[in-house]
Structure 1
């Protein structure tokens, strides 16, 4: 019987009584019958975040730099196959959120790491914390890498320069430190994730502007492309490159499946957002997940199709680079680049919150909120990410492995395993349809992981360097 969270973010006891088999002391704090003593840190305040702000935060967590590579993915699958894959993965992501919320509701726990503790003991808690930390550090690094590479070009274009002057404000390493200190760190120091709903809303507005520009450019750029400078499009390829394909299969097609799957990773943020939700219920949080995923599904599809129908076979792995080939000084595309930079910068604090929560659950379990820990962890995380982005010349391969393992774990494997282990067998036997579905879902995650690692191994052994966009 699922225990619903009632008013003030606290769980109240239900007629079902405690779960069988006893409760370890560390877990006991999170269950409904324990009302005395200090509240755990993720329910030590009344949830006040509205439905709309929660949608903004979760949508911002879903939306990543990978949106820039979706047109390229469509060019390697065709319109119909891309839509089928995108629909299937969006539905699977909604189902994954359902498994997480169902598991959380049964045992009265709304922290990813504590679900791991409940399902597999301390190894499960440690594994969940490590996976969340590695995945989100990888995501933060990818966002700051975009800032490092794109912001100097934007400043250069605003100054009307065609090449870098070598000034310090053209150096990406200096710029990411400045952005981290002046923008990301203050936002990361917010006490609650719900406060970032406003910046998340602005970040999404920037991406809506990006989508609007992509749609506008579709009707202003002719195919074949009139490439800026001395380059030209070969006339032999015109018939092929200016026709839309509905189904296509090539060497790159297999890569699009994990790219699309990872485009919906938001699961480390689901439970923190659930914790801070006003009037929190499983149905309300599931609706937030469904609305967020549907919104990002719509944005992903329209961005992909209008970008693809603009460039067809000439679509590059990073969509903005394709526009720059046509006119590197285009004012609208320059504004779009700036909007994308703002969007990814404002996403970093949202991604940082689950890492800090994971580290607090791992290193300081049961401790009340303390500003020194709160600030120190955020500062240290930003220092680590900045050092990675500055010192590692090619961060793609390092986080390729972690992304290929952590993303399937967060979307498919852990939610399925949590559900199987946490839902009592007297309520749902292992041969019941929900448990079988969860087992198949977990198996699908291992398939994705194996496939992604195989593609990375092929890249390494063949010596090819491809850029397909990140989460």
Structure 2
């Protein structure tokens, strides 16, 4: 009787340990041939092969390093334009919009992590495949590629425009020369080859935690400088005096500060403002927390990863960025009020082009955006892997070639396409809402089983409304860009 009983127990999923204690063995899930081929890269227990795939490794990145990486992915050049956004929305409306966007981003990441946990997949493109098959995978991969190429290009545009000014100030040159080291195009190539490419060649994203921490410290220095300058620069500082300074007449500042009486309406903090520029500031803020393509790769490499732990990483990162965004916008706005420009550093340069502190801030911002490019490049390379090399084992040659080709393409765009920012405006208005709002919501609705959450359950209804909000943002952003082009305007908007 003992042998049949043991056989029956094994059939039921029970087996006996040597010490006689029973344990339960969960039957290995069965997948179709196509699903097995797709999931093999991300579910080690599904694959019967012992060879490691390019994403099949144990997470080794610590909790703190993961926060640094995700915070650095969120932080972008958009922080330079938030003071301008506050000037065109008012303090209260700005706080409301910034808080709403932060909460919506947190909810969006929650949807991604929950969908990922149900199917055991930690890649954005594979969630698209699980939800809608190959079209879903391709749509996610294309959106990630376009969005991140646009982001990387905006960072390198900052290098192209700001680095020559830094060198000019270091050399104490009154006018820009034609020497090669003052040419932004050459400088972009040098920075890409000497700094960005070596970091982008690393196999795992977790190794960039140290550079992410240094990058964030540079932005903290930028924030501290903005707060310090609020109490150093005379207020109200007339816009005319700032413009005169650009022509080298630094003594004009003192004359205007004494001669111009305070204009209380122009040089006072407005709590609520609506004007023609307000519509352009909303998309800037809406996309200030874009980090969704990087969430799942960081989740994959998190040590002792769990949904709860990754959600904590996301919550802390978004909270830290929320505080930095708000403080940078508030003190930048309270320094210049309505005279603030869409790029905050340019406004400080009009006060004193050779200010040592502002020079250091420029260097810090350049360092921060330069070190962010490799982190943004990782999801693009991963998307290309899924589109073109789905079932291939990891290859260093392919890994290096993709990074070199991507950086070469982005450098060519920055150097030879003077109107590329308009093109990336269209890309940002289409791919960003998809990655933040639409895809996480519809993937969640499709992936979560109906027996677990019916279609008309509150969570799925909320997700559907979230997707609808994304469509609204997309229509609104595209409309603003088209109207701007049609009227011949050139509104500046920060990128991410």
Report TM bin, short chain.
Answer: over 0.9
Q: Pick which of 247-256 and 326-335 moved more.
A: 247-256
Query: Corresponding residue for 1:466?
Result: 491
Kindly indicate whether the alpha-carbon contact (under 8 Å) linking 1:269 and 1:351 is maintained by their aligned counterparts in 2. yes
Matches within 5 A, 1:372-383: 372-383=397-408
Equivalent residue in structure 2 for 1:90, among 70, 89, 102:
102
Gaps of 5+ in 2: 1-23
> Distance between the aligned counterparts of 1:419 and 1:298, measured in 2?
29
Q: CA deviation at 1:258?
A: 1.0
Q: CA deviation at 1:238?
A: 2.1
Q: CA deviation at 1:274?
A: 0.5
Query: Corresponding residue for 2:284?
Result: 259
Alignment coverage as a number of residue pairs:
459
Kindly indicate whether the alpha-carbon contact (under 8 Å) linking 1:116 and 1:124 is maintained by their aligned counterparts in 2. yes
Equivalent residue in structure 2 for 1:51, among 63, 69, 89:
63
Q: CA deviation at 1:25?
A: 3.4
Equivalent residue in structure 1 for 2:304, among 279, 282, 289:
279
Q: CA deviation at 1:22?
A: 8.8
Query: Corresponding residue for 2:373?
Result: 348
Equivalent residue in structure 1 for 2:154, among 142, 155, 163:
142
Q: CA deviation at 1:19?
A: 8.1
Kindly indicate whether the alpha-carbon contact (under 8 Å) linking 1:242 and 1:312 is maintained by their aligned counterparts in 2. yes
Kindly indicate whether the alpha-carbon contact (under 8 Å) linking 1:206 and 1:342 is maintained by their aligned counterparts in 2. yes
> Distance between the aligned counterparts of 2:293 and 2:330, measured in 1?
29
Provide the secondary structure at the position in 2 that maps to 1:241: coil
Matches within 5 A, 1:283-302: 283-302=308-327
Equivalent residue in structure 1 for 2:219, among 188, 204, 207:
207
Q: TM (normalized to structure 2)?
A: 0.89
Matches within 5 A, 1:33-44: 34-38=46-50, 41=53, 43-44=55-56
> Distance between the aligned counterparts of 2:30 and 2:438, measured in 1?
24
Matched, 1:385 2:397: no
Query: Corresponding residue for 2:144?
Result: 132
Provide the secondary structure at the position in 2 that maps to 1:240: coil
Query: Corresponding residue for 1:430?
Result: 455
Matches within 5 A, 1:15-414: 15=26, 18=29, 24-29=35-40, 30-31=42-43, 34-38=46-50, 41=53, 43-225=55-237, 226-227=241-242, 228=245, 229-230=248-249, 235=260, 238-414=263-439
> Distance between the aligned counterparts of 2:359 and 2:396, measured in 1?
39
> Distance between the aligned counterparts of 2:325 and 2:116, measured in 1?
29
- Closer/same/farther in 2, CA of residues 16 and 288 from structure 1, 3 Å limit: farther
What are the superposed Cα offsets for residues 74-120 of structure 1, whole Å, 9 maximum, x if unpaired? 00111111001100100000000000000111001101111111111
Provide the secondary structure at the position in 2 that maps to 1:41: coil
> Distance between the aligned counterparts of 1:31 and 1:345, measured in 2?
34
Gaps of 5+ in 1: 1-12
Provide the secondary structure at the position in 2 that maps to 1:160: coil
Kindly indicate whether the alpha-carbon contact (under 8 Å) linking 2:216 and 2:368 is maintained by their aligned counterparts in 1. yes
Q: Greater Rg, structure 1 or structure 2? A: 2
- Closer/same/farther in 2, CA of residues 262 and 40 from structure 1, 3 Å limit: farther
> Distance between the aligned counterparts of 1:280 and 1:341, measured in 2?
33
- Closer/same/farther in 2, CA of residues 14 and 340 from structure 1, 3 Å limit: farther
What are the superposed Cα offsets for residues 416-458 of structure 1, whole Å, 9 maximum, x if unpaired? 0110010011100110011001100000000000000000011
Q: TM (normalized to structure 1)?
A: 0.94
Query: Corresponding residue for 2:9?
Result: none
> Distance between the aligned counterparts of 2:393 and 2:32, measured in 1?
28
- Closer/same/farther in 2, CA of residues 70 and 457 from structure 1, 3 Å limit: same
Kindly indicate whether the alpha-carbon contact (under 8 Å) linking 2:59 and 2:303 is maintained by their aligned counterparts in 1. yes
Q: CA deviation at 1:41?
A: 3.1
Q: CA deviation at 1:73?
A: 0.2
Query: Corresponding residue for 1:451?
Result: 476
> Distance between the aligned counterparts of 2:135 and 2:270, measured in 1?
48
Q: CA deviation at 1:28?
A: 4.3
What are the superposed Cα offsets for residues 345-364 of structure 1, whole Å, 9 maximum, x if unpaired? 00000000000000011111
Provide the secondary structure at the position in 1 that maps to 2:265: helix
> Distance between the aligned counterparts of 2:380 and 2:495, measured in 1?
19
> Distance between the aligned counterparts of 1:236 and 1:180, measured in 2?
48
> Distance between the aligned counterparts of 2:132 and 2:168, measured in 1?
53
> Distance between the aligned counterparts of 2:164 and 2:203, measured in 1?
32
> Distance between the aligned counterparts of 2:439 and 2:49, measured in 1?
31
Q: Pick which of 247-256 and 178-187 moved more.
A: 247-256
Kindly indicate whether the alpha-carbon contact (under 8 Å) linking 2:70 and 2:294 is maintained by their aligned counterparts in 1. yes
